[in-house]
Every structure is written in C-alpha cells, then in structure tokens.
Amino acid sequence: MALDPPYRFYLLTFPRTASNLVMRMLNLPNQPGLLPGSKNEYFFGPAWGWKFQHHTVGRPVDELKEWERNELRDSYQACFDALTEQVDAAAVQGKPILVKEHVGWLTEPVAETKFVFGEHSTRELPWTIQTPSSSCTHSARNETILPDEYLKTWLPTFLIRHPALTFPSIYRTTIDNEGRQAARDDPAHVLEMTVHWSRSLYDWYIQQEHLSRFNAENGTNWPIILDADDVILNPQVMLRYSKIIGLDPSLLAFSWEATSNERLEQMSKMERRMLSTISASTGILKEKVSADLNIDIEVSKWETAFGKEEAEKLASWVKAAMPDYEYMRERRLGPA
C-alpha cells in the first residue's frame, strides 16, 4: 500500500517513557504545518479505562460475558471513530497529523490472553476494528486491535526507555493513584511491565514493504526508534527527527514555563500524577537517564520503597524485558 501526503505519523510509546517530554519538545501547537487545535494523543485511552472500570484487565478473553464483549468492542470502535474524525479533519485541510498512543492500549484481548496465559490458552481469533476499507486482514505479528491495512497508512515511531526506569515509575504512580494494596494486586502490571508490545509491532512493521521508499527519501530507516536517553541528552537527535517528519526544527522547545496552578486544578487527580514531572519542570531534566545504572543498587532502592517481594517482581520484569529493549535500542535513531 503506497502512502501519499498528507502523512500520518504514529508515536508509539509505553507508560513512563518520557513521551510527555517528547511532545513538549516537538511543540506541536506552534508547528504551522499541523492541524491547529487538534487532539494528538491517547485516542484509545477510553477503551483501556473501560477495561479497568469493568475489571476485565488480566482476565482470559474466553471468560468475558457477552455484554462485556459487546461493550468492549463498542469502546474500541468509538476510540477508532474519534481518531478517524481527527485524521479526516487533517486530510481535508491537507495537513499531516502526529498522534501519540501507548502500544498496550492498542493491543487486542486475544493477544493479551496468550501473552499472560500461554499461546494455547485460547483458540479465539484476534479482535479487529471495523474500518471504512473493504479489506480487513489481521496477520500473525499484528497484536493490535487495528487491521493490517489501517496500520499501513501510518509512518510509525517507537519511543523506548530503559525498563529499570520505566517499570518502578509505573509502580510508583499506581501506588499514588490506587494505593499500596491495589498496586500489589494490579493485574495490569504484567501487561505494562514489558517491551513486548513495542517489539512485536516494530517487527511487524519492518516486514511491510510499503515503508521502503520512505527509507530512500529521508536517509533513515522506518520504523523509527527514539530512546528516551537520547531525547534527554542529545538535542541533535530531536532536531533530526523533527526534520524527518516535516516539522520546523527551529520551533522545538528545550525550555518552557511550569504548568500554572489554574491548569493543574483543571486536571483530574490521575492526570496530575501522570504529568507531575513535566508539569513542574521548566526544561529537560538530564538526570532522568539510564547512564551508569546499576540494577543491584536499583533493586535495593525498590526494596526500601515497595518492599522485598515487590522489588523482586520488578527485578524479574526488568530482566525479562531487557532483550526486547536492547534489540530496539540497537536500532534507534542517532544524530545526523
């Protein structure tokens, strides 16, 4: 499938990867080439929220009741329809669009079930959103709710960060939002404390021939991978990235004003917590990197903060995630 302008850029992340920093640095509201005043992140957040509200996170797909299946499908479809409305609005004006989404929020229930309970835990076919396109295939490596044909209409960037930084941060925010007991019992952790979803979708994309001409056009390799350490420590990487996706690099932001009290009061408790670092900052916090990270020292810190049992869980998740993280990091975008 050939892609024609205006292009769609998907920034695919997982929690606590400094994605809010990336969006702040790209300065999208002031980029003249993009659709003004557009929503540009977390279109599939409501479906993830529905799963939490109705306690379906971590449950095998075969155990879902009929009404749960119907409502969850409807929620996914409503999220997709909202995204489509935004994409169409940009296309009408001939504007490119950049959207940020957590890859895990795009993951469909059958893939989640197989990841948690084993490849042979269900025989159900993958769930797939209905799109206006007459073609709606779902290949084996595609673990998202989106059909292959739709994924091919986007140019993807994957944002990654060292698991020993992201996973304890996820756990810490869970405690702050839900309490210590809820954090210990949270079924979402096994789905969030992983780089699997990013690696899987990245591997799916590199098998798609439609991206090859873009590699020739801009001298890089799609899909693009950004590592949070580079975002924080090397401005040249973000300057290069902005040029690749057609933004004005002179408009990138490397400092800003802290979020006002008035704006903070408008946020929900969870939103304030998730945005607490970027809201309080006035620029890039260069200590938030993995340089010289010693896992044994980090585990000791987690024991103090969360207790021995939870620290061991975090350590096991980090160890399991490192091969996928290192695989992707080796392929990350560097400075020009």
What is d(CA 162, CA 319) in angstroms, rounded to the nearest whole number?
Answer: 11
* H or E element in which residue 227 lies: strand 224-227
- Which residues have a Cβ under 8 Å from the Cβ of 230 and sit 6 or more positions away? 237, 332, 333, 334
CA distance 264 to 285: 20
Q: Going residue by residue through the chain, which has 336 residues, state the pLDDT in tens, using 9 for 90 and above.
A: 346 778 999 999 999 999 999 999 999 999 998 887 778 999 999 999 999 999 999 999 999 999 999 999 999 999 999 999 999 999 999 999 999 999 999 999 999 999 999 999 999 999 999 898 767 899 988 999 999 999 999 999 999 999 999 999 999 999 988 899 989 999 999 999 999 999 999 999 999 887 877 776 666 889 999 999 999 999 999 999 999 999 999 999 986 665 556 665 655 555 555 555 655 556 666 667 888 889 999 999 999 999 999 999 999 999 999 999 999 999 999 987
- Separation CA 124–CA 113 (nearest Å): 10
Question: How many CA atoms within 13 Å lie on the side-chain side of 179?
Answer: 3
Q: What is the pLDDT of residue 2?
A: 47
User: Which pLDDT score, from 0 to 100, does residue 5 have?
Assistant: 78
pLDDT for the residue numbered 14: 95
Q: What angle do CA 145, 150, 155 make, to 5 degrees?
A: 110
> What integer pLDDT is reported at residue 1 of this predicted model?
37
pLDDT attached to residue 257: 66
Q: What is the pTM of this model?
A: 0.91
Burial class for 100, CB neighbours closer than 10 Å (0-12, 13-18, 19+): buried
* pLDDT score recorded for residue 211: 83
Q: Give residue 307's pLDDT.
A: 94
As to burial, measured by CB atoms within 10 angstroms (0-12 exposed, 13-18 middle, 19+ buried), residue 141 is middle
Token couple for 175? 């405690």
Tokens of 325: 């993280």
Predicted pLDDT at 17: 94
